[in-house]
Chain A
Amino acid sequence: MAFDRYGLIEREGDPLHRPLQYVVDDAGQWTMNCLACHQGKVAGQMIPGIPNSQLALETLTHEIRAVKLRLGKPLTDLDIGSLVMPLGTTVGSTNAIMFGVALMHYRDDDLNIHPHRLPPVMTHHDHDAPPWWNTSRKQRLYSDNFAPRGPRSLMQFLASRENGPEKFRRWEDDFRHIDAYIDSLE
């Protein structure tokens, strides 16, 4: 029922019933992954890289925050940020483009973090995630061609405070592989 409410899809054959849209580490820590927006179903069929038209990210984040506050658990950057930034006001859409604007605003060119800057000016809008097999035809990303294509464009979503500049440099090669995989889809 919870998975349906938030647009999550159970991993096939997983005895622990975990959703595709989260990585779960050995310590039981859940971390949202790319498939939150980028893995859905059409007519009951899963197709790699098809947008998740059922993702209720705004609802999911707001309700997780409410539960954490009630239980006295610590809030994440996403829990706090979503107080002032909409995450997609219609199910199936997200404000993905503004993640980059919001998160990178607090970084310098070397990716060092400057948390005390005033908030950036943002134009919030809901986007549908594009199917991944369209990516190979594009040189820039998003419907307004905001971002040049490449592994770094995929990494903007990691730019929360717990990930310092060294992590970014360490992870860039992994994202080159992810970018190449997405590029290979037709």
Chain B
Amino acid sequence: MNNDGYDAQRGGLPVKSFDQMPTEILTAAKKHRFFDTRNFGKSAAGHDFPNVLTEPDRAAVLEYLKTL
């Protein structure tokens, strides 16, 4: 990833996913280039609270978030 990278397709920084930390990543500086979702506070499992919303409510929440 370079400093100017941007993924216009997905709307955000370009990211790659890995099943586990690649074995060649040994130094702390290199490990910091990864977001390890196994760690405390870094889960990527998402939230289940949208399940209680109706489709129109979900759409409304998304529209609100776009205004922020």
B interface, over-half SS: loop
Which of A11-19, A37-45, A176-184 forms contacts with chain B?
Answer: A37-45
Contact of B29 (CB < 8 Å), options: A43, A59, A134: A59
Q: Is B28 an interface residue (CB 8 A)?
A: yes
Q: Is the CB–CB distance between B29 and A63 below 8 Å? A: yes
Q: Is B33 an interface residue (CB 8 A)?
A: yes
Within 101-158 of A, Cβ neighbours of B (below 8 Å) are at 125-126, 134, 137
A54 to B28 alpha-carbon distance, docked (Å): 16
Q: Is the CB–CB distance between A58 and B32 below 8 Å? A: yes
Known contacts being A90-B32, A125-B41, A134-B68, is A43 close to B6, with CB within 8 Å?
yes
Within 1-55 of B, Cβ neighbours of A (below 8 Å) are at 2-6, 8, 13, 28-29, 31-36, 39-42
Contact of B32 (CB < 8 Å), options: A9, A89, A134, A137: A89
B31: chain A residues within 8 A (beta carbon): 89
Q: Is the CB–CB distance between A126 and B41 below 8 Å? A: yes
Q: Is A53 an interface residue (CB 8 A)?
A: yes
Q: Is the CB–CB distance between B32 and A56 below 8 Å? A: yes
Known contacts being A41-B4, A43-B4, is A59 close to B41, with CB within 8 Å?
no
Q: Is A161 an interface residue (CB 8 A)?
A: no
Q: How many A-B residue pairs have CB under 8 A?
A: 46
Q: Is the CB–CB distance between A90 and B68 below 8 Å? A: no
Question: For residue B6, which residue of chain A has the nearest CB?
Answer: A43
**Chain B proximity of A85: nearest CB distance (Å):** 15
Interface string of A30-42 (1 = CB under 8 A from B): 0000000000011
Q: Is the CB–CB distance between B3 and A56 below 8 Å? A: no
A160 to B8 alpha-carbon distance, docked (Å): 41
Task: Identify the interface centre among A41, A91, A137: most chain B CB within 10 Å of its CB.
Answer: A91
Q: Which 3 A-B pairs have the closest CB atoms?
A: A43-B6, A44-B4, A125-B41
A-B contact pairs, 13 of them (CB 8 A): A4-B3, A41-B3, A56-B32, A58-B28, A59-B32, A89-B31, A89-B36, A90-B34, A90-B35, A90-B42, A92-B13, A125-B41, A126-B41
B residues near A, CB below 8 A?
Answer: 2-6, 8, 13, 28-29, 31-36, 39-42, 68
Q: A9-B3, A56-B29 are in contact. List 13 more A-B contacts (CB 8 A).
A: A7-B3, A53-B13, A56-B32, A59-B28, A59-B29, A62-B28, A88-B32, A89-B36, A90-B34, A90-B36, A92-B13, A134-B68, A137-B68
